Amino acid sequence: FGVASTVCSQWLAGATAAGLAGVGGIAAAGAGSGLAIASRVGPTELPQTVAGFHSLVGAAAVATAVGEFLHLAPLGLLTPVSIGAIVAATYLGAITTTGSLVAFGKLNGALGSAPVSLPKRNLVNALLSAVSLWAAARMMRSPTLAVGRAALAACTAASLFVGAHATLAIGGADVPVVITCLNSASGWALCAEGFMLSSTLLTTVGALIGFSGALLTQDMCVAMNRDIVSVLLGGYGTSATGGGEAMVFEGEATFTDVEATVENLKAAKEVIVVPGYGLAVANGQYAMAEIAKELRAQGVNLRFAIHPVAGRMPGQLNVLLAEAGVPYDIVLEMEEINDDFKDTDICLVVGANDTVNSAAIEDPNSIIAGMPVLHVWEAKNVIVMKRSMGAGYAGADNPVFIKDNTDMLLGDAKKTLDAIKAKLDD
């Protein structure tokens, strides 16, 4: 839409063939770069790729705002509306740029998932955000090139810091919400660009992205029993959750092997599979789809249970299973299937942790206390497939691992699923 808007506006403005060719060349270069990047992205890298592309949208908004100011200011054409749009695009674009880069780092493993922030971070962020209001007021009082440059530079620098600082302070469990929030912010930055350039198309598309991102953020917050204010101003792993020391769950885990798992699956009538990010990392979705197909052919009522925030972004596991050919009608959302665990013979958890953590219910001081989770522990037998006994992305220990009806099947998910499939074929 941005490319189409640019080409149309240039054409309507009477651009020469050389000018349109230049725009086309830049668009082609961008399209080629995007295609090259996307062709190397697998299912597990999709969340951080989305975050990375959001940063480009933000950077484009800032560059456009600065360029428009440098174009209008010398001509004396700055108006209160154009100044407001320029500052809004700069503020939202800069926050989206650095916030998305930090989210990319957290998702890609370059940065730790634990919250990092300065003392009184919310006050710091509020004061720096106020710089944008000051910049707008200063430019309206004196819409000159020199004053505008200084005000816009201050607004850009402050907003870049706010974006990075606010996102660094958000714990790993809240990163999926942050991605959708930044998606919304990129839309509003685009909307501000539309006002700035008098482009109805950019304004409309930006508003659509902004509203859809906001609605998705709200859905994510509901799924995690959170509100957006507590996510942005608090976050998992901070004083916003858990009022005391988290409970220490004591017990010993029991372990199983592929042979016993296959025998249990064959003997079961009701099976629920709960996939998590570990399944995506191991690229085990195809083996899992074959296992599901084989068991269902043998009369087992096997279904999949998807938590709304499974993986690192909304819908990641749904896409993963669809890619492997799993029928849509056996992939159910949490609210559709959570009451069925108590009537289930075996629950097979593949690479999920935080979304099946009973501490969310059992421990009011847990950093994920109150988060709706899949009640896998209510099944007659739970088999958890993981690489290790380590905590999930939120950093909370999972007492499900040591419950009496749980068996741990440790190892690489793809290798283990391939071994299960081979045994089923025997």
Residue 146 DSSP one-character state: H
Q: What does the block give as tokens for 196?
A: 């700035």
Contact 381, 346 (CB under 8 A): yes
Of the listed 121, 138, 226, 393, which one is catalytic? 393
* Spatial CA neighbour of 91 closest among 139, 157, 146: 157
Decide if 236 is catalytic: no
Contact 334, 305 (CB under 8 A): yes
Identify residue 185 by its one-letter amino acid code.
A
CA distances from 196 to 13, 49, 50, 93, 299 (A): 16, 28, 26, 13, 62
Identify residue 191 by its one-letter amino acid code.
C
CA geometry: angle 373, 396, 221, nearest 5 deg = 45
Decide if 91 is catalytic: no
Of the listed 138, 236, 277, 303, which one is catalytic? 277
Residues 6+ apart with CB under 8 A from 407: 254, 255, 256, 260, 261, 381, 382, 383, 384
* Spatial CA neighbour of 423 closest among 302, 262, 296: 262
Cα-Cα-Cα-Cα dihedral sign, residues 422, 294, 279, 56: positive
Contact 132, 192 (CB under 8 A): no
**Helix-strand-coil split of the chain, %, nearest 5:** 65, 10, 30
Residue 15 DSSP one-character state: -
3-state secondary structure of 79: coil
How far apart are the two ends of the chain, measured CA to CA in Å? 54
For 413, phi then psi, to 5°, come to -60, -45
CA geometry: angle 88, 89, 91, nearest 5 deg = 65
Q: Which residues pair with 348 in a beta bridge?
A: 273, 383
330/348 Cα distance (integer angstroms):
15
> Would you list the DSSP string of 7-43?
HHHHHHTT--HHHHHHHHHHHHHHHHHHHHHHHT--G
Decide if 277 is catalytic: yes
Just list the catalytic residues: 277, 312, 393
